[in-house]
Structure 1
Amino acid sequence: MTASIFDLAYEVPIIKPKVYAGSYTRIPFDSTDPRRNEPLVRLETVGVAYEAHHARTDGGNWPYFGAVPGARKDVWLRKTVAGMLADVNDLLRPYRVELIVWDGYRTLACQQGMWDFFYREAARALPDGTPATWRAQALKHAVDPSDFREDDPETWPTHATGAAVDLALRDLQSGDYCELGGRFEDINDVAATDYFERKLARGEIADDDPRLRYRRLLHWAMLSAGFENDPFTFWHYDWGSQLYVKMTHALRADPVKAAWYGYIAPP
């Protein structure tokens, strides 16, 4: 049985940014939860497609246009999280699309490489700025891992937990990316998950705009499987991490108390 994206009776909720603003690193982490020790698995073991964005060497990975130091060509996630993505694909199959993952578990070396890139870009764009100015600009795009400590949850980048994933949709037959509007890692107004819902509410787009409909489909499928979205970016979802818990506090009547996935060493 097949379905159309226009058959889905679902809307991405419009959320005021102040509702979910602030850092996630102060969210409690439950070190006694047995799930904290769940291993990482490669995405191909659950049949989910991926493209390791930060490891590309063909110049097609904006804004780096080359491999980020420390990036891996394989993509890993916690075992349960990877299985949940397979469940998402089951939900998407009638719509003739599937997930394409851009990033999952991220090594600290890759996080450092991303930070260094955006810090250099800030210094280049603002030659009269100060280190504080450049740092503030870089923080709009990447987490600074320089204060990382393995035993301190307040220093853990969410991708270093193996419980955060960046993804989009692609056509099952052609493999072409579906048009969700915006560009991966391009942090601006268009990146906000509810961007096209807001445009629809203002009468600036029609209800059949594919960008609106594909964002709805992705959001519906991911939340149906248990994930939470970071509303700043339509491509980012978590389950079990501090960021996941933060979003449940912002958006749910029954929030989760503490994260169970913390930092995990590279496989």
Structure 2
Amino acid sequence: MTWNSSIPLQAPNQLLLPPIAENHEPLVSLKQYSPQIEVYPVYYHEGLLGAMKDCLLRLGVAQRLKEASLLLPAGFRLVILDGYRPISVQQALYDRQKERLLSQGWIENDDMYAELHRFVARPSSDPAKPSRHLTGGAVDLTIAGPDGWLQMGAAFDDFSDLACTRYFEEISPILPEEQKFRDHRRLLYHVMAQVGFTNYSDEWWHFDYGNQAWAVITGNEAACYGGILF
């Protein structure tokens, strides 16, 4: 596998979500799960109300993250920023981003909500349509090397076009620094895709496994992870 090959285009998502055939895998802590995996619960460090001091994910997701970490070059590791997200935390993120948009001059209308929902899912306890992170099958992450976190050309939760996974694939001519950002994104994308994850194309840091978004992209007839409510 060549980690520096281009990130492929993603087919448009279908409108109908597949059903969920819950497999009841447990949530597991990523702390001390693997020496190749670092945990930095970003929303906890930001002081977001209700955010956990740990990152939890379904067992199958954790296992695949370990596999992905072993594909990285020597001296590199995955950094997990967020995993399972309770509804209360999803609501806090949703409200925070809505306030940001309003403060930027957006008017509360369909266009504003389309922009909001592009980056932050509406909190949902609907068993037929849970938000991705509520399933424990969505993970936000980056890569760290010997000199620290790799530069990706847009910070985590930079809700702009710069965050689109293929952003640096589509600009020409490309500057040397931009080429570095592109190559770092390629490395993350390909090690994750190699072990079965799919990427949310508007966010270079977001990957799915086992939830409905993953099932849509992979063509599976059903998701295996539904929402987890405490």
Gaps of 5+ in 1: 1-6, 57-65, 249-254
* CA 84–135 in structure 1, closer or farther in 2 if over 3 Å, else same: same
Structure 1 residue 73 corresponds to structure 2 residue 53: yes
1:191, distance to aligned residue in structure 2 (A): 1.0
1:29 match? 19
State whether residues 84 and 225 of structure 1, in contact with CA within 8 Å, keep that contact through their aligned partners in structure 2. yes
The 1:80–1:108 alpha-carbon spacing in structure 2 relative to 1, beyond 3 Å, is same
The structure that is helix-richer by fraction is: 1
Change (3 A) 1:14 1:108: same
Q: Is the 8 A contact 2:25 2:58 kept in 1?
A: yes
Q: Which residue number in structure 1 is paired with residue 150 of structure 2? A: 178
User: Are the structure 2 counterparts of residues 89 and 123 from structure 1 closer, same or farther at C-alpha, using a change threshold of 3 Å?
Assistant: same
Could you tell me whether the CA contact under 8 Å between 1:14 and 1:197 is conserved in 2?
Answer: no
Whether 2:31 is the aligned partner of 1:54: answer: no
Q: Deviations over 1:172-229 (max 9, x none)?
A: x34x111111111112221111111112xx2233599221111111111001111111
2:223 and 2:193 map into 1 onto residues whose CA distance is 17
1:90 matched to 2:70? The reply is yes
- Could you tell me how far apart the structure 1 residues matched to 2:164 and 2:50 are? 28
Match in the other structure for 1:148: 125
Shift of 1:142: 1.2
**2:106 maps to 1:117:** no
Q: Tell me the distance in 2 between the aligned counterparts of 1:100 and 1:234.
A: 14
* Cα distance in 2 for residues equivalent to 1:196 and 1:78: 31
TM (norm. structure 2) is 0.89
> 1:20 deviation in Å?
2.5
Q: Distance between the aligned counterparts of 2:178 and 2:110, measured in 1? A: 44
Which whole-Å CA distance do the structure 1 matches of 2:69 and 2:87 have between them? 29
Q: Residue 229 of structure 1 contacts residue 247 of structure 1 at CA under 8 Å; is this kept in 2?
A: no
Asked if 2 retains the 8 angstrom alpha-carbon contact of 1:126 and 1:134, the reply is no
Equivalent-residue separation in structure 2 for 1:262 and 1:107 (angstroms): 13
Letter in 2 for 1:72: M
Which residue does 1:107 correspond to in 2? 86
Separation (CA, whole Å) in 1 of partners of 2:59 and 2:73:
22
Distance 1:209 1:87 in 2: 26
Q: CA deviation at 1:167?
A: 0.5
d(CA) in 2 for partners of 1:244, 1:204: 31
SS in 2 for 1:37: coil
1:37 alignment partner AA:
H
2:2 maps to 1:10: no
Distance 2:115 2:204 in 1: 21
Structure 2 portions without partners, runs of 5+: none
Does the CA-based 8 Å contact 1:102-1:166 persist in structure 2? yes
Cα displacement (A) at 1:100 = 0.5
- Contact 1:42/1:74, CA 8 A, preserved across alignment: yes
1:243 corresponds to 2:213: yes
Contact 1:87/1:225 (8 A) holds in 2? yes
Q: Any conservation in 2 of the 1:108–1:160 contact (CA below 8 Å)?
A: yes
Q: Quote the sequence identity (%).
A: 28
